[in-house]
Structure formats: C-alpha cells, structure tokens
Amino acid sequence: MKHVPIRTSKRKPVNLSLDIGIVAAAREAGINLSQVSEAALRVATRIEQDRRWKEDNRAWIEAHAAWVDSNELPLERYRLF
C-alpha cells in the first residue's frame, strides 16, 4: 500500500449535504464547518487506514504474537517494569 500524506496545503472545494439543523446550530455557535469536517475526515481516514493495515498484515501480527508467546521478547530480562 502506497503511503499518501493526509495533510497538504492545497484545498479542493467539495459539495456536502448536511442536516440543516446541524448547519444552523454550528453557524450560531461560530463553528467553522470546513475545519471541523476536515478534522473529522482526517480522524476517520486514519482509523480506516489503520484497520486496513492490520487486516493486510494479520498473518504477520499473529505469527509475531505467537513467537513472542513461545520465546518472550528479546531483552525482556533487562526490563525494569
């Protein structure tokens, strides 16, 4: 999977359909719809990318966990906690 940065300095105008009550309340509260939408999309995108990475690498994750269970972590004896 190619790494594509989430944040850039460029902006692209898009059309969104939002509940009119939410839009009115946000405007009344002085909330910037673009900033909040962008932040929410950034979080949702990161969560989905992480989910896909875990799914794509499930075999390695399970194999590594099994190895640690049977061999313990390298340098485990030096841990102070």
pLDDT (0 to 100) of residue 48: 97
End-to-end alpha carbon distance in the chain = 36
In a domain, 9, yes or no: no
Tokens describing residue 37: 């939408």
Please give the pLDDT value at position 52: 97
The answer to whether position 15 is within a domain reads: no
Residue 3 located in a structural domain: no
Q: Which amino acid, one-letter code, is at 21?
A: G
Domain count, the chain: 1
Q: pTM of the full predicted structure? A: 0.70
Q: For every one of its 81 residues, what pLDDT tens digit does the chain have, with 9 covering 90 and above?
A: 566 667 777 888 999 999 999 999 999 999 999 999 999 999 999 999 999 999 999 999 999 999 989 988 888 888 887
DSSP state of 77: G
| Structure token pair of residue 9 | 């300095």
Helix or strand holding residue 64 (H, E) = helix 58-71
Amino acid present at 65: A
Give the domain extent around 62: 31-72
The alpha carbon dihedral of 68, 70, 75, 80 has a sign of positive
pLDDT of residue 4: 62
Residue 60 resides in a domain: yes
